[in-house]
Amino acid sequence: MENSNKKYGVTIVSRPKIKATKELNLSGKEGEQIVKSETKLVLMRHQKTFKRLEDM
């Protein structure tokens, strides 16, 4: 870390931790729908990655 600091002239800044302000209730029909839709998005977005893992 020290090396890259000298190399690029970047100063390291500490950032505050951001806490979650919202809670999701995944029980019931609504929660099931959230899980299904998010799963579909992940499968579409990372299709090539899953294909490579499948071929291993």
Counts of helices then strands in the chain (DSSP H, E): 3, 0
Host domain of residue 55: 26-56
Would 43 be classed as within a structural domain? yes
How many domains does the structure of the chain reveal? Answer: 1
User: Quick check: pTM over 0.85?
Assistant: no
* 39-50: burial string, b at 16+ Cβ within 10 Å, e else: eeeeeeeeeeee
The answer to whether 50 touches 42, Cβ cutoff 8 Å, is no
The verdict on residue 30 lying in a domain is: yes
Quick: pLDDT tens for 21-56: 988 889 999 999 999 999 999 999 999 999 999 998
Q: Is 9 domain-assigned?
A: no
Whether 16 is in a domain gets the answer: no
Any domain includes 5 = no
Is 34 contained in some domain? Answer: yes
